[in-house]
Amino acid sequence: MIAAWLVLGKDGMVGRAMMEQLGPRAVGLSRQECDFTDVSFLDVIDAAFTVKPFSVLINAAAYTRVDDAENEDSGTLLRINAIAPGELAAWCAKNGVVCVHFSTDYVFDGSGTHAWREDDVPAPLNAYGTSKLMGERAVAAVDGNYLIFRTSWVYAAQGKNFFTTMRQFMATRASLQVVADQVGAPTFAGHLAQGVVTGVENAMAQGEFPRGIYHLCHGGVVSWHGFADAILAHERAVNTELACQATVPVSTKDYGATAPRPSNSQLDCARAKMVLGVALPAWEVGLRACCDEHASNPLG
């Protein structure tokens, strides 16, 4: 019998990708259907479990507006990103369900030039990163089977994200200023979902469940400016009337975002490959897949 999976945040980038990857195995709940700010949100999960028992719960719901988080009511931010994940993990432990939670490169301060390992000491620079670190710790504090996947720079063919924003601007603007002094690995949500499903299935097949934190993102490293240039190259190949002629590198300071960002978001994903048997390809491969997906479904 094929195990059922519950996906929370089914309409977000990662949630949508998980639903597509899992197909008929997935039961999904949107943010509106399962609102973490409602103290009775676990009742909704209880009801879903009663109708169709599931073996894996994927928490793809989160407060992700990094700049807004600096001014957000801390109660709301922490409720969604820090407190609710711990309550989900406790529910999963009680009901014998594997809890899968997503976290971020923003738990690190971005110092140095090395790729961050799971056992490196976190030191988030902003409110969003702090709330996600608290969520990690809340999940890990529960005595159950859990996997926390830290990833980086997630994007998709649809929705609001760096890829779709760049495409929109490139269609109408002659040039774009893009930050050049932050580096990491852009991660296509479709490939992330594939990796998570494989990793969870491999974990469940092991005699002793390998609970813990795992880094999972595409291979390689590029700046936001370099990523924008790569998107522009793809756009030029298919759109002869493209307005954008160049991307202009700017510093983080000159760009002037509200929340500070880590300058080095590289993640070392060796542990996920060794323990869970999963690794994502180079970020360029992910970009090609995203462009192909958008071409086949431009309206998403």
pLDDT tens column, 160-176: 999 999 999 999 999 99
CATH superfamily of 5-296: NAD(P)-binding Rossmann-like Domain (3.40.50.720)
Please determine, for residue 1, whether its predicted confidence score (pLDDT) is greater than 50: no
The pTM is what? 0.93
Active site residue 146: no
- The dihedral region occupied by 153, where left means phi > 0, alpha psi between -120 and 50, and beta the remainder, is left
Query: Which residue's entry shows tokens 């700017």?
Result: 250
Domain chopping of the chain, boundaries: 5-296
Q: Summarize the confidence of residues 207-231 as an average pLDDT.
A: 96
Q: In the prediction, which pLDDT does 72 show?
A: 79
Asked if 96 contacts 87 with a C-beta cutoff of 8 angstroms, the reply is no
Asked if 30 contacts 74 with a C-beta cutoff of 8 angstroms, the reply is no
Q: Summarize the confidence of residues 192-217 as an average pLDDT.
A: 96
Residues β-bridged to residue 214: 149
Percentage of residues in the chain with pLDDT exceeding 70? Answer: 97
CA dist 75 and 241 (Å) reads 47
199-237 CB burial, b ≥16 within 10 A, e <16? bbeebeeeeeebbebbbbbbeebbbbbbbbbbbbebbee
| Active-site hit among 106, 128, 146, 214 | 128
pLDDT tens column, 55-103: 999 999 999 999 999 987 788 999 999 999 999 999 999 999 999 999 9
Q: In the prediction, which pLDDT does 300 show?
A: 46
Q: Summarize the confidence of residues 137-144 as an average pLDDT.
A: 96
DSSP 24: G
